[in-house]
Amino acid sequence: MQQSLFSKPIQNLLPFDGEAFLFPEFISSKDSDLFFEKLQNNIQWKQEPIKIFGKEIMQPRLTALYGDSSIPYGYSGIKMIPFPFTSELMYIRERVQDIAQTDFTHVLLNYYRDGQDSMGWHRDNEPELGQNPTIASVSFGQSREFQMRYYSDKKQKVSCELTSGSLLLMQGSTQHFWEHQIPKRKRIHGGRINLTFRKVFA
Ligand SMILES: O=C(O)CCC(=O)C(=O)O
Ligand SMILES: [Fe+2]
């Protein structure tokens, strides 16, 4: 990670067994509003089914996958074929790569239409992400709470607010030991778009 770009030292949100760094003002609020609009209109959003315990259910949010190559990527029993990177996604990727000091091949996008949309507990630990993946997560629009909990002692919890324009970097052994989720929130009506940049090994 590129510490010198930031004046304040960056604190690890996790107490042990992983690293999660939050950059709340990664993208200015003016640019974040523009990105939200563009992504809302120009991304090929779809509601896709996933398999949970052998049963097919629709995901409670819209998703899309973009990538450099046609290497497919998927989770929970679905394989997605990426669309080629758009100019907005390339711009954001460049900025993220500067801080993360890694290259990303794919970006998985999630559109939470309101507080009823969510993502359940999981780890980003698909084998094609490698041993200790760096995941760079950029958020636009409505803030949502991002919760993490220790996989083998689920009482150990950490959470933070992912505000518009923020970047969350998860790296090191995080995906082995910590799960994460975006819980439903009844009283939230605004939409949120999240981008998670990943390096997918063929
Ligand atoms: O929406 C978020 O902040 C989390 C997204 C996420 O965990 C994922 O795409 O794997
Ligand atoms: Fe995730």
Q: What is the pLDDT of residue 1?
A: 77
Cβ of 178 below 6 Å from ligand 1: no
Of the chain, the percentage scoring pLDDT greater than 90 comes to: 83
Protein residue whose Cα sits closest to atom 8 of ligand 1: 196
Give the mutation target among 73, 113, 194 for probing the ligand 1 site: most ligand atoms within 8 A of CB.
Answer: 194
Residue carrying the six token digits 């939200």 = 36
**Pocket of ligand 1 contains residue 129 by CB under 6 Å:** no
Q: How confident is the model at residue 6 (pLDDT cuts 50, 70, 90)?
A: low
Q: Is 4 exposed, middle or buried (0-12, 13-18, 19+ CB in 10 A)?
A: exposed
Number of domains in the chain: 1
Residue 2 in any domain: the answer is no
* Residue 165 to residue 35: CA distance in whole angstroms: 9
The amino acid present at 187, given as its one-letter code, is: R
State whether residue 119 is helix, strand or coil: strand
Summarised one tens digit per residue, pLDDT across range 71-92 is: 878 877 788 889 999 999 999 9
Residue 116 lies in a domain: yes
Instruction: Determine the residue type at 128.
Output: E
Establish if 76 belongs to a structural domain: yes
Tell me, what CATH number does 122's domain have?
Answer: 2.60.120.590
Asked whether residue 11 is assigned to any structural domain, the reply reads: no
Asked if residue 130 belongs to a domain, the reply is yes
CA dist 68 and 81 (Å) reads 11
Please tell me the predicted confidence (pLDDT) of residue 4: 66
Domain assignment of residue 134, given as a range? 18-43+56-198
| Beta carbon of 194 within 6 Å of any ligand 1 atom | yes
Give pLDDT, residue 167.
Answer: 97
Q: Is residue 51 part of a domain?
A: no
ipTM over cut 0.95 = yes
Flag whether pLDDT at 124 surpasses 90.
yes
